[in-house]
Amino acid sequence: MSKPFVRIASRGSPLALTQSRMVRAALAKAHGWSEQESETLCRIIAIKTTGDKIQDRPLYEAGGKGLFVKEIEEALLQGEADIAVHSMKDMPAVLPPGLTIAAVLEREDPHDVFLSSDKQPFANLKCNAKLGTSSVRRQAQALRLRPDLEIVPLRGNVETRLAKLARGEADGTLLARAGLARLGIRLEGADLLDWLPALCQGAIGIEIRENDSEAARLVAAIDHWTTHVAIACERGFLATLDGSCRTPICGLARIEGQELAFNGEVLTPDGRNIWTASRALAVGDSTALHPNAEAMGRDAAREILETAGDRLPRF
């Protein structure tokens, strides 16, 4: 049987390329390819997305979710790539017709860490300190606890934001622990936060064309079932709320024992209002769990929609 040649579309950032290499390594292990074979069989194509090009303003001002995936998905649809690797938190709630998330890798710790210039925890931030973030979700969660903080925009990849913090552009910033772990970055004084993370944070998704049976067969071997179920629940929550990077929305689903548990919340950007919903579902029949998990997320979102009504932030 001949071995396939797979083109992997990826963003060109250090983290995105690391994640694409993780997918390539997982494919090699699952299908018995050597490291040298995998580099030949799986070529990574770096694509500069609109989100990467925009550095002069927050992404929510430029169109929100989807700016990190648009060009990558176009490469898939045009047959210029066979699979695409994404940070699932960047994925819009609705995919373009003809594309599907066929697999996800095992999730890394999804939580955020706080890092200050003086290595102190978030609770010790000085009054009226400058918090550097361009995430409205992180902004809202921080202001809910510390309304005195001044939010200053801080765009760029992990290395860029750390450099800006070192230059004194902010007193502290927030980063995804998963990204730091994958890049091998250990930060002295990093404060692991127990806030709910962005939906799907820490998960790497593999997108393919729906009609590509060969790509589906290849990536099925590396799909992490429990992570995929959790992501289905979180994306159901996202889709029903029509959330984007302009909406302060967060949540986390986990399989704990024989139960899928979910907690979600939506805030106003100033953090003054918050709506929460929780759900639990017995794991039961694994064949039905994926659609049931998505339905559970949607049901939790409908509770928030009914409770918040016109007060829910709309952009």
Specify whether the CB–CB gap between 147 and 271 falls below 8 A. Answer: yes
Quick check: helix, strand or coil at residue 96?
A: coil
Specify whether the CB–CB gap between 315 and 246 falls below 8 A. Answer: yes
At 47, give phi and psi (nearest 5°).
-125, 130
239-274 core/surface letters (b: 16 or more CB in 10 A; e: else):
bbbbbbbbbbbbbbbbbeeeebbbbbbbbbbebebe
Strand order in the sheet with 6-11: 42-47, 6-11, 83-87, 204-209, 99-104
Specify whether the CB–CB gap between 221 and 31 falls below 8 A. Answer: yes
End-to-end CA distance of the chain: 52
Active site residue 90: yes
Among the listed residues 56, 82, 90, 299, the single catalytic one is 90
Q: Which amino acid is at 13?
A: S
- Give catalytic residues, as residue numbers: 90
